[in-house]
Amino acid sequence: MKKLYFTRHGQTVWNVENKICGTTDIELTELGRRQAMELGNKIKERGLQIDKILCSPLIRARETAQHIADATGIPLEIEPRLTEQNFGKYEGTARNGTEFLQSKSHFADSYEGGESMLRLAQRIYNLLDELKADNKVYLLVAHNGIARIITSYFKDMTNEEYAKFGIGNCEILKFDL
């Protein structure tokens, strides 16, 4: 069975400060760069058979993907659909803010200038449908919000499970396509 791998970018300053990054282009910290290099080495050591890395164009994901590509020799391509969700007025605010957490459970909410979960799901589901039809094994390098959508593509989740879902920086997920 064909596999799909996903990882979240390395640590950013806003991750440390518990702020919502969204489409704000935040760079990796030194720890984030080390996490990315370690993940690249781990993928190489495990001998994961990956044909191509697709990554978000945001710098935190691009830099993470580049470190992985450098360590493994896997070709890298920017995939704009992997850009994190635009959280509108909430970008730069606390991830655990009461108003944001409530708004996050409303899937049609576009956060006053952002992107709704429904629109995000459409663009990611369309990408996954395309990848499913391809014979290649991909590593997607993107963001926590994208991890949530991808997981919901493969697994039924309640609204509460979906809203609470998250993965750590440079954690890797594996899915059967």
> Cα Rg for the chain, rounded, in angstroms?
15
| Cα 136 from Cα 66, distance rounded (Å) | 19
Catalytic (active site) residue 38: no
- For 4-15, the DSSP string reads EEEEEPPPBHHH
Catalytic (active site) residue 9: yes
| Cα 55 from Cα 7, distance rounded (Å) | 10
What are the structure tokens assigned to 78, written together? 């920017």
Q: Of 63, 79, 84, 91, which is the active-site residue?
A: 84
Q: Of 9, 79, 115, 143, which is the active-site residue?
A: 9
| Cα 123 from Cα 7, distance rounded (Å) | 18
User: How would you list the strands of the sheet with 172-176, edge to edge?
Assistant: 76-78, 52-55, 138-142, 3-8, 172-176
Element (H, E) at 138: strand 138-142
Which active-site residues does the annotation give?
Answer: 9, 84
